[in-house]
Structure 1
Amino acid sequence: MSILSLTQKEFSRAAGARAVVWVDPACVHLHSGSKWPVFRKRMQRAGRVVPRALLDLARPALKAREPFFIPADLFQDGQPVAETPKYRKVADFIAHRDTPKDSLWYAQLTDELKATGVARHKAIEMRSEAEILGFLEEYVGGLMDSLREHGFSSDESSYESAALINRDGSLTKTGSGNHRFNMCHALGIAPFPLKIVGAHRDWFTAQDGADGATLETLLSRIQEVGAQHR
């Protein structure tokens, strides 16, 4: 089987911890949104002709087919990390660490609370301004203080933040783990782990082609990319 036919899931299973690169977050300048760009496009196309109920049933199978090597026409152009809403929210909170009520994050959560009766952060639900303040001071502020004092520890998180390799070999942030990544980026904390979950197809094929390339070849090139982002 050609290395170019690898799915994201097959690569992740075969690569294991070798898919993770430790980088300086400040060297990762772009964010490309979803780590399943091909899946998203397939869902959009199918949604035009397939009923929603059937599409939901097909979702796991379509996601499992996500290729590791992303075609040029489906690789999403990245947005500068510093311009993403989550980064701006984190950077603003850092600036208001001692006065969290003045932070953009507090304003957004209280607006959500007023509009819906509950403010949410992932599985955390806050039903009063006091709970919002406690979340910011203890959860967010505590995480920030820990990162400042100890740096990033993989023991603090049950997942790895994800990244894609762009056509030119640069990394672009994608998927989950954005708050920790953005906080380390804004605070200048390194190193930080990024799990490579995909790559621009041309990045790999342009380097001496792909004929005869193996998983070891790919993993070696991924680690080279990681070393360029430290």
Structure 2
Amino acid sequence: MFNNPFNNLDTLRNNVYWINPARISFYVPKSSFPYVVKRRVNKTRFSLVSKFFDQPLPFIISEQAFSDIRQPVESVVRYQIISDFIQNIDNYEQSIWFKKLVTDLHQKGEARHKKLSMTNLDEVHAFFNGYVIALYESLIADGFDLSKGKDVAKVYIDADGDILKGESGFHRFAIARIVGIKKMPVRVQGVHALWADGVTAKKPLAAKIDQYFSCLGVSASSS
């Protein structure tokens, strides 16, 4: 039976690869992919159409559907906030991040980080002391530990073979890149169709991705 090289590509999203975060220079938000934008527009109008477009991006993304945005990671606000925090880690109350949360607290009665809600200054301090600083110190001391079950950063591979940082795991990525950690786990969420060109049953996409990361001096493992 013919082995279709495009079968079960979604399972490739589970594979974990290790890479030096310094090799990732650009960020691409998922919302910048035309496929996702089209899905969102239709979702507000046609329930039947939204069911079709509410699927995740295909693993092999066509040239038309691939994002044309390449934002240098240093220009991403979250990256700048982390960089400033690290510079002020011994006095984090002077950091942009802390000041922003305190401003939100005073103006809105609540400061948020993802799903975490902070309603008083003690909770903001607890967030920094119990989470942010602990995360920083853990990465410095031990690097990344997959056994802790934390989010693995998501990346894409563009037509030229450049690795683009997605949205997941951005704070860990920023810390690792700024302080010079050499190994970080990532999961590939999709590849540009032109980069995947030449995939066959004898040379499946999984093997091409493995070879690509091996050339970077890192390895892959299935999660």
Corresponding position of 1:107: 99
Corresponding position of 1:227: 214
Corresponding position of 2:78: 86
Q: Distance in 2 between matches of 1:148 and 1:44?
A: 39
Deviation track 1:39-72 (CA, whole Å, cap 9, x = no partner) reads 413225526xx53xx44x7656423252111122
Give runs of aligned pairs for residues 6-85 of structure 1, distance below 5 A. Answer: 10-13=8-11, 15=12, 17=14, 19-34=15-30, 37-46=33-42, 51=45, 54-55=46-47, 59=50, 61-64=52-55, 66-76=57-67, 77-85=69-77
Distance 1:61 1:73, change over 3 A: closer
Cα pair 1:38 1:70 within 8 Å, conserved: no
Cα pair 2:35 2:65 within 8 Å, conserved: no
Greater than 6 Å deviation, 4+ residue runs = none
The answer to whether structure 1 residue 204 and structure 2 residue 196 are counterparts is yes
- Per the alignment, in what secondary structure is the counterpart of residue 120 of structure 1? strand
- For 2:63, give the aligned amino acid: A
Q: Distance in 2 between matches of 1:201 and 1:30?
A: 19
Task: Give the deviation of 1:78 after TM superposition.
Answer: 1.6
The answer to whether structure 1 residue 124 and structure 2 residue 101 are counterparts is no
Cα pair 2:24 2:165 within 8 Å, conserved: yes
Unpaired runs of at least 5, structure 2: 218-223
Deviation track 1:1-58 (CA, whole Å, cap 9, x = no partner) reads 8545x6xxx4233x365x32100011111111117825413225526xx53xx44x76
Distance 1:60 1:81, change over 3 A: farther
TM-score (norm 1): 0.82
- Per the alignment, in what secondary structure is the counterpart of residue 90 of structure 2? coil
- For 1:141, give the aligned amino acid: I
Between structures 1 and 2, the one with greater helix share = 1
TM-score (norm 2): 0.85
Unpaired runs of at least 5, structure 1: none
Deviation track 1:132-178 (CA, whole Å, cap 9, x = no partner) reads 12211221000100110111111233432110001111100113111
Task: Give the deviation of 1:224 after TM superposition.
Answer: 2.6
Cα pair 2:154 2:168 within 8 Å, conserved: yes
Task: Give the deviation of 1:216 after TM superposition.
Answer: 5.7
Residue identity (%)? 25
Deviation track 1:208-230 (CA, whole Å, cap 9, x = no partner) reads x34xx139621121123323445
- Per the alignment, in what secondary structure is the counterpart of residue 73 of structure 1? coil
Distance 1:222 1:63, change over 3 A: farther
What is the Cα-based RMSD across aligned positions, in Å? 2.5
Q: Distance in 1 between matches of 2:147 and 2:50?
A: 31
